[in-house]
Structure 1
């Protein structure tokens, strides 16, 4: 029996392919991955959510002097960057960003590798195939691209190195509109769109996109929502939020944190601002607000929470207690076809009467609906910007058509907006329009002379730190333009959107409009909702995203015939014509802004 057993074992050993021993066993430990160049294996999409990235593993060497170049397509944009030691150590090799989708990329890497005191320098070319762009779809006719088409209309030489981070939203999906809150009543949980986040270059190519599925689930209460408020922090990393969650990741998809909102709050959307001390300001709502009438409600887009780096709540701003939640002047003149992203084309041009507002307010109809008082969408705050100079926040309230500065003491410092409808205690806080010589501008109601205008249903009110000094500050905003002048125009195509910059004297309580652009293009760029205007210090420029321009719909059926065609613009400071104009086709935009790969790849420990 022993002889037969030995013969059987020997026969089985001969039958096992030699390749099996390469994985270990008789031939000893061995690596069985394909290697290019003089380093280790390539890990494509190393953290599962960024398919156009990779890591070339260091293979046990200490790497330094690393430069990466993605060889551009014909007439394409070169991406070239150096990599800090911190990033090399964090990723265990060389991080690669900017691969073309559905393409065999050539990636040039130069580096020095060191092992036990011996150093060698190399320049290798890696061939890396990256897969096509993938996104979930809703199965409707307006979806014509995996993300969007691109039409590059103008790029001045100084801006050819730009990369733009684009935060878009897919159409509502049948699998993402199932849940409601009823404990307490109200909230904005049904506001649920699949994310479409990407980076586009000035040649019109997508160079990064998020495969969100591993961290996002339309059917999960705590893994869904609307991904919004993306920002590249000073450490090069991305922060944003969605639904009941706020997060921080690097551009390769490595998670820094992914946190549930503190239990006191719910329904994050729109804005997450990082402060110099590592705190974050989140635009949220109350998970249980006790009204004066004794009703418990989930509020809607009317609270700011400040959390520290560990997620501990430091402070909150309860706007229903700070402002006047019953000011309805703007609510009565809003176009009901476009109350933010709850777009209903069949309601286009319709407004609410005082009687309709009063009826809604006396009902138990709470949630993401237009109405006054806590529990309804009376404020719709869509941006928050922390000002360290006086420890205050600047907010943009769409449904009050007002930009407001509030201190840590919860006292309003100033209000930039039409004076109509504000209670007596707020009247001294309303900024007074002046011209370039400081002389008062005549205003009647919500209309002013001399070319001055307030913002209407605006987005992104940001202080321009680099231009501001002391009590003189500059604030940029995207003026969407709905209900301009506290009315709807005679014809829909009279509406327009614009970017605007104001100079505010916080001591004299005056405001001067120093620049605007967008009115020249008229209705063609009208963006009823979303969008952004933001100063860019690196090029002394102003970037703007007309995020929902160009959509066409049938007034009879309320159906959209086309998706919007957003446009990215960038202007040199105070210029009259754009240096960049890039149109995105067939998509719904939220915000876009210049992304810095150098900042991302050269971040060091904080």
Structure 2
């Protein structure tokens, strides 16, 4: 026993006075790199900023790198991704950024670069083998979220002109038990309970997911200031992504590096739908007032009816309070809304039902405020779902779902024009209503009410307003002076200011209008979707947007194909959204991809070249 004890004491003494080959991190010579290097520079860091698992950085290994390029070798029959990396990105990330790895797969990544050490320059071209994990989305615990949630998309057609396309998809999942636990109080109202998990990813034209956003590090359904629907994604001119959720608005690069992640200014709450990056460097956010004093003395939080402009430092430069600019008591349109699908508050048990004048009158007299359709500030009377800054005359164009109107408003907070049915507007706004005309400039008769135009029922032509539309974007490249072009996704609920005899008669469409702002006229110059009928119908969400790089029009019919269960009031199946892209002016899509078992919000082409320029 004494022998053993003396041996232990001797060993401890030896450790105290001599370097230990066991305890030293890097071995007897001190600290060193002890992870595998695949090439001539540094280590591979996967998911470098914790929120983009299909990305990596090949570190520079202490060298100066320049003139780098990357090629993601496709699977057999897959889509190649290749891009150049500007020197500023090599410096920012400390190496070569890798984007587009296949999930649950060892991807071959070819890199080419110049390596400098002092005055010595060497050129390398080498291949890395990089494994990336499978796609992940927060579980909802419902049977609707099945393995099919991650199924490869159904590729219907892809024109060769578009074979290199990547599409960013911003989808929303079922609510979970973690979220929607609180509502605003003191003052009351707002839309805090509008709280979904998000599923955001990029697919290629073979249907493979090549990037996804791992949300848990930045999104917490249990936190008031870190929860909310992720919406309003845009790829900015610098290649980075901006979007918002709940009480935050953020900007990250495609590898997940944070550029900013901010709470909304205290004067505002409940971001959703739209965050527009402007050429002036500012951002236009669709928010709401966090505390409005009504004329009757009540204090309320408003719902989706304020736009603010913030600068690069987050300082509010201006605001558009729509309850002061427009008429929050124009109720003609939301009297005919399908109460089964009031935006994302889908309740199949209310499908086909509308609000009566008596219902609205009782609601107006009540103290019931919040994310409900009704008149006046504090209720969802406007539901602005997009804002687009027209830098040419420093105005904003908004899309209002619950007014079925696209509206242009100046910096002076005055209405410039209204594109929508003239029905129900008071005398104050009638001078700003656009007159529909044909291609020769002749006025189109839309009936006594003004809501039913010749294109309302005729297939393949005519004119129609938009109904409960989403997105209204000026096409800058086609516009000049007083003649501007505006795209929209016409969802089609309450078309003609009524509910149809049968739900199956509803349809959605992408549409482009030509507006003469001097003559105050509007001409419909393109549409698609009517011929697809009810199978293409999206009761909520969706997008239509011009793409300058390929002179094309992109459509995402984001909630098409979902099947309601009218007995339980729930859904039998998730929607199967359609993603389409058209050569400008053509009547049939050049690209058609259908996603499976997922409820979409918006989607858009994504440029990896822009991301690393």
Same fold (TM over 0.5): yes
What corresponds to 2:138 in structure 1?
136
Rounded Cα–Cα distance in structure 2 between residues aligned with 1:411 and 1:98:
46
Distance 1:15 1:526, change over 3 A: farther
Q: Retained in 2: the 8 A contact 1:145–1:586?
A: no
User: What pairs with 1:265-280 in structure 2 (closer than 5 Å)?
Assistant: 265-280=268-283
- The offset of 1:28, in angstroms, is 2.8
SS at match of 1:521: helix
2:582 aligns with 571
User: SS where residue 191 of structure 2 aligns?
Assistant: coil
Verify the 8 A CA contact 2:284 2:308 in the aligned structure 1: yes
User: For residues 437 and 41 of structure 1, do their structure 2 counterparts lie closer, same or farther at Cα, with a shift above 3 Å needed?
Assistant: same
Paired position in structure 2 for 1:372: 375
Distance 1:272 1:330 in 2: 26
- Report which stretch shifted further, 173-182 or 468-477: 173-182
**3-state SS in 2 of match to 1:386:** strand
Q: How far apart, CA to CA, are the structure 2 residues paired with 1:147 and 1:409?
A: 47
Deviates more, 1:376-385 or 1:440-449: 440-449
Aligned 1:85-234 pairs, distance under 5 A? 85-145=87-147, 147-149=149-151, 150-234=153-237
Question: For residues 399-478 of structure 1, what are the structure 2 equivalents within 5 Å?
Answer: 399-444=402-447, 445=449, 446-449=451-454, 451-478=462-489
Instruction: List per-residue Cα deviations over 1:132-174 (Å, max 9, x = no partner).
Output: 1111121111112374431111101110000000000111111
Supply the distance in 1 between the matched residues of 2:282 and 2:330 (Cα, whole angstroms).
32
Q: Is the 8 A contact 2:149 2:596 kept in 1?
A: no
Contact 1:148 1:584 in 2 (8 A): no
1:481 to 2:492 alignment = yes
Q: Which residue in 2 is equivalent to 1:504?
A: 515
Choose which of 549, 566, 584 in structure 2 pairs with 1:555.
Answer: 566
How is 1:348-387 mapped onto 2 (pairs within 5 angstroms)? 348-387=351-390
Secondary structure, in 3 states, of the residue corresponding to 2:428? Answer: helix
Query: How far off is 1:4 after superposition?
Result: 8.5
Give distance in 2, aligned partners of 1:170 and 1:4. 64
Q: In the alignment, is residue 589 of structure 1 matched against residue 600 of structure 2?
A: yes
1:314 is aligned to 317
Distance in 2 (CA, whole Å) between partners of 1:61 and 1:220 is 43
| TM-score normalised per structure 2 | 0.96
Gapped regions of structure 2 (runs ≥ 5) = 1-5, 456-461
**Does 335-344 or 177-186 show the bigger shift?**
177-186
Give the equivalent residue in structure 1 for 2:249.
246
- Aligned with 1:122: secondary structure? strand
The separation in 2 between residues aligned to 1:545 and 1:148, in whole angstroms, is 19
Shift of 1:449: 2.1
Distance 1:71 1:135, change over 3 A: same
3-state SS of 1:174 partner: coil
Greater CA drift, 282-291 or 15-24: 15-24
Residues 104 and 132 in structure 2, CA contact (< 8 A), matched pair in contact too: yes
Q: What CA distance in whole angstroms lies between the structure 1 residues aligned with 2:19 and 2:563? A: 66
Q: CA deviation at 1:81?
A: 0.6
Q: Flag the 1:491–1:15 CA change in 2: closer, same or farther, 3 A.
A: farther
Instruction: State the partner residue of 2:35.
Output: 33
CA contact under 8 A between 2:68 and 2:112: conserved in structure 1? yes
In the alignment, structure 1 residue 519 sits paired with structure 2 residue 530: yes
Taking the aligned partners of 1:587 and 1:8, their CA distance within structure 2 comes to: 63
Between the aligned partners of 2:23 and 2:611, the Cα distance in structure 1 is: 41
Q: Distance in 1 between matches of 2:314 and 2:453?
A: 45
Indicate if the aligned counterparts of 1:66 and 1:112 stay in contact, CA closer than 8 A: yes
SS in structure 2 of the partner of residue 489 of structure 1: coil
2:51 partner SS: coil
SS in 2 for 1:333: coil
Deviation at 1:16, TM superposition (A): 9.1
Q: Deviation digits for residues 65-111 of structure 1, max 9, x if unmatched?
A: 21111111111100111100010000000000000000011111111
- Identify the residue that residue 46 of structure 1 maps to in structure 2: 48
The answer as to whether partners of 2:437 and 2:443 remain within 8 angstroms in 1 is yes
Q: Deviations over 1:287-325 (max 9, x none)?
A: 001111111000000000101100001000000000000
Contact 1:133 1:146 in 2 (8 A): no
Q: TM-score, normalised by structure 1?
A: 0.97
Contact 1:236 1:601 in 2 (8 A): yes
Show the 5 A alignment for 1:70-85: 70-85=72-87
